[in-house]
Amino acid sequence: MSLAGSEPLAISPHLHREITTARIMWGVTACLLPAGLWGVWQFGPRALLVVLVALLAALAGELLVGLLRSRPTVRDGSAFLTGLLVGYLLPPGVPLYVPAAASLFGILVVKGSFGGLGNNWMNPAIAGTVFAFFSWSAARRGWIAPLAWSPPAGASWAEPLAFVKSAALTSGAHGPIELLASAGYPVSRFSQALGGWLHGALGLGIDAHYLDLLFGCVPGSIGEVSPLLLGAGSVYLFRTGIITWHVPASLGGTFLVLVAVFGGLPYGAGFFAGNPVFHLLSGSLALSALYMACDPATSPMTAKGKLIFGAGVGALGALLRLCGSAPDGLPLAIILMNIATPLINGLTGPGRFGGGSGRPRA
Amino acid sequence: MSYVGIILTLVFVNNVVLSQLLGLCPLVSASRRVESAAILGFAVTFVSSLAALATWAVERLVLLPLDIGYFRIVAFVLTTVGLVRLLDFLVLRTSSSLRASLQVYLPLLVPNCAVLGITLIAERSGYGALESFVAGAAAGAGFLVSILLLASIREKLESEWVPRPLRGLPIALISAGLIALAFLAFDKALVKNLIG
């Protein structure tokens, strides 16, 4: 369904704006591109291949749905965005059937079977990736050492979150960064130099692992690793009003507070000993909070609903990241809250026009 | 296992619908509206907690002393159905409004495979009387949660957009499957890490 189409959507009056579904989708895609290019540069041609397979499968699926329903929708850009996000959520070394299956599941089952864009109630990219994640254990591995690490690390290192999770209790360290440092987790030369300069010139003692996480010089999923570029891309989305502050703010706030309070428990460090900065910069937090949780089709419509939704994702994300068996709980938290979105919409929706009572919905 | 562990496991991890695939028929037939889903969900919770307790008693007082464990399923079916008839007779004769809202569900939908499954699971786990009761209530609450979520989604689905072959039952089952996919996030390791 394209807002640019000629068919009216609801009873007038309508405010006409030059913003269309296609323009929003391609705008979001453009904002995501820097982070993806960074991932491809860091992880090599294999990462590009994974993203391309995900994109092609998503477009093929959308084309198939369009042909079956004689309602072509490929050009609105939503399938391209879904495919891109599937590629971004996967590690670069996965077998190529994983991105293909994830994209096809997302487009055909999660979106197409409900009638296409706007009718799907679960984020197709995340659901497709989660489907692949639970179907093949190969989809959970396949990290490639980033180009920025020099000399190239001999042993294959897991992404920081997975590494930290598997070794939290046995290490004796008091937090994730200390654990990375004590385990000899590699650092890029650039971050080492920058950390040294910050220490010498400004007196700031910042562990180089933080800088690596910020810039994206760590193994991880292709499009997740660089919170800096993802954040920079989202500036355009905020400025054009494609996304509002509600979901990212309540999601990030809830998540960081909970991680700060409970994050020390897996290390036996007690309450209020968590490391929110590490969790802010690692895994898919930036991609989840700024892009995937703000999907207009699967998140609530009102400001109040968005705040509740964001807080729910943040709380479930913190729970799953600290206690769950998957390294990063945020994508799972988003699709769990997608389930509750119709309920939130029903509870926070505006009253009927002319209806006097405070009852939101008949 | 502690009571908190039983509750978390049966509501989220081994959800009677989403993980054990029991009670799918009442799930799809009563989830068109949130109100009917809530009524059925609460009725199932109420009955399953009592049924788990009653079948625990049947197991201890009849099946074990007589050593006729092979009659378990028959005995549990009879106990559950008898319990529902008893409730129908006792509680609902006294309240006409409650009876009106439950009239359709109680005889037809409440004695379902979910309730029977819950009693069998409680028996197999070797729970005591109170544990069986809590397990029955928790499993019923798991049914309530899943049917409420599915009903809220089905109410909001704009069915005219759903492809014709998938309207109605198929899209309800696909929706339930996607809910189950997301609920895979809750696993045994999570409960273990959470409550030790």
Question: How is residue A206 written in tokens?
Answer: 């910042």
- Using one digit for the tens of pLDDT, what is the confidence trace for B26-73? 898 888 889 889 988 998 999 999 999 999 999 999 999 999 989 999
- A145 dihedral zone (left: phi>0; alpha: psi -120 to 50; beta): beta
The per-residue pLDDT for A9 is 54
Q: How many domains does chain B have?
A: 1
Q: Which two tokens stand for residue A302?
A: 């009102």
Parent domain of B156: 3-195
Amino acid (1-letter code) at residue A292: M
Query: Are B184 and A114 an interchain contact pair (Cβ–Cβ within 8 Å)?
Result: no
* Cβ contact, residue pair B185, A68, below 8 Å: no
Q: From CA A129, how far away is CA A78, in angstroms rounded?
A: 16
Measured in residues, chain A has a length of: 362
Span B68-107, pLDDT tens digits: 989 999 999 999 999 988 888 877 677 777 777 777 777 7
Q: Which residues of A154-178 are buried (b: 16+ CB within 10 A; e: fewer)?
A: eeebbbbbbbbbebbeebebbbbbb
DSSP result, chain B: --HHHHHHIIIIIS-TTTTT---HHHHHHS-SSHHHHHHHHHHHHHHHHHHHHHHHHHIIIIIHHHT-GGGHHHHHHHHHHHHHHHHHHHHHHH-HHHHHHHTTHHHHTSSSHHHHHHHHHHHHTT--HHHHHHHHHHHHHHHHHHHHHHHHHHHH--TTTS-GGGTTHHHHHHHHHHHHHHHTTS-HHHHHHHH-
If residue A320 lies in a helix (H) or strand (E), which one and from where to where?
helix A303-323
Which residues 145-164 of B have a C-beta within 8 angstroms of A? Answer: 148-149, 152-153, 155-158, 160-163
Q: Which amino acid belongs to residue A67?
A: L
**Are A288 and A313 spatial neighbours (Cβ–Cβ below 8 Å)?**
yes
- Cβ–Cβ of A115/B162 closer than 8 Å? yes
Chain B hits for A112, CB-CB cut-off 8 Å, are: 163
Which of B162, B178, B187 has the CB atom closest to A110's CB atom? B178
In a 3-state reduction of DSSP, which class is residue A171? helix
Provide the sign of the torsion angle of the four alpha carbons B27, B29, B34, B37, taken in this order.
Answer: negative
The answer to whether residues A83 and A103 touch, using CB atoms and an 8 Å cutoff, is yes
Selecting from B149, B160, B187 the residue whose C-beta is nearest the C-beta of A325 gives: B187
A315: exposed, middle or buried (Cβ count in 10 Å: 0-12, 13-18, 19+): middle
| CA A264 from centre of chain | 24
CA distance A246 to chain B (A): 23
- Mutation target for A interface from B11, B144, B147, B152: give the one with most A CBs within 10 A: B152
Of B120, B107, B118, B114, nearest to B81 (Cα)?
A: B107
Interior angle at CA B84, CA B82 and CA B87, nearest 5: 110
- Per domain, the residue ranges of chain A are 19-144
State residue B100's pLDDT score. Answer: 74
B66: contact with A, CB 8 A cutoff:
no
Q: Collect all residues of chain A within an 8 Å Cβ-Cβ radius of residue B175.
A: 121
Amino acid A348: pLDDT: 87
In this prediction, residue B184 carries a pLDDT of 94
Residues counted in chain B? 196
Q: State the sign of the Cα–Cα–Cα–Cα dihedral B149, B155, B161, B167.
A: positive
Q: Which tokens sit at B111?
A: 């004695």
* CB within 8 Å: A332 and B194: no
Nearest chain B Cα distance for residue A116, angstroms: 8
User: What is residue A225's predicted lDDT score, i.e. its pLDDT?
Assistant: 93
In a mutagenesis test of the A interface, which of B153, B162, B184 is the best target, namely the one with the most A β-carbons within 10 Å? Answer: B153
Q: Which one-letter DSSP state was computed for residue A362? A: -
Q: What is the pLDDT of residue A279?
A: 94
pLDDT at B189 over 80: yes
> Hunting for tokens 């039952």 — which residue is that?
B169
Q: How far is C-alpha A88 from the geometric centre of its chain's CA atoms?
A: 8
CA dihedral A154, A155, A160, A164 (to 10 degrees): -140
The neighbour count for residue A44, using CB atoms within 10 Å, is: 16
Q: Per the CB < 8 Å rule, is B182 touching A332?
A: yes
- What pLDDT does B106 receive? 74
CA distance to partner chain A, nearest, from residue B194 (Å): 6
- Give pLDDT, residue A341: 94
Q: Does B20 touch chain A (CB under 8 A)?
A: no
Judged by a CB distance cut-off of 8 A, whether residue B187 touches chain A is yes
Q: What is the pLDDT of residue A4?
A: 45
Candidates A121, A292, A334: best to mutate against B (most CBs of B within 10 A) is A121
Nearest-neighbour CA in chain A from B132: distance (Å):
27
Mean pLDDT for each 10-residue chunk of chain A (362 residues)?
Answer: 47 68 90 95 95 97 91 86 96 95 96 89 96 90 85 74 80 83 87 89 86 92 94 93 93 96 85 91 94 92 94 96 90 96 87 58 47
State the nearest Cα–Cα gap between B136 and chain A, in angstroms. Answer: 25
| Cross-chain CB nearest to B156 (options A113, A326, A342) | A342
B124 touches chain A (CB under 8 A): no
Cα–Cα nearest to B59, from B2, B127, B112: B127
**Neighboring chain B residues of A134 at a CB cutoff of 8 Å:** 181, 184
Query: Which residues from chain B sit within 8 angstroms of residue A324, using beta carbons?
Result: 185, 187, 189-190, 193
Sequence-separated (6 or more) residues with CB below 8 Å from residue B160: A115
Chain B residues near residue A337 by CB distance under 8 angstroms? none
Q: How many CA atoms lie within 13 A of A30 on its CB side?
A: 10
Asked if B184 is an interface residue toward chain A (Cβ–Cβ < 8 A), one would say yes
Do A105 and A131 form a contact (C-beta atoms < 8 A)?
A: yes
Chain pair A-B, CB pairs under 8 angstroms: 94
Structure tokens at A153: 């690390």
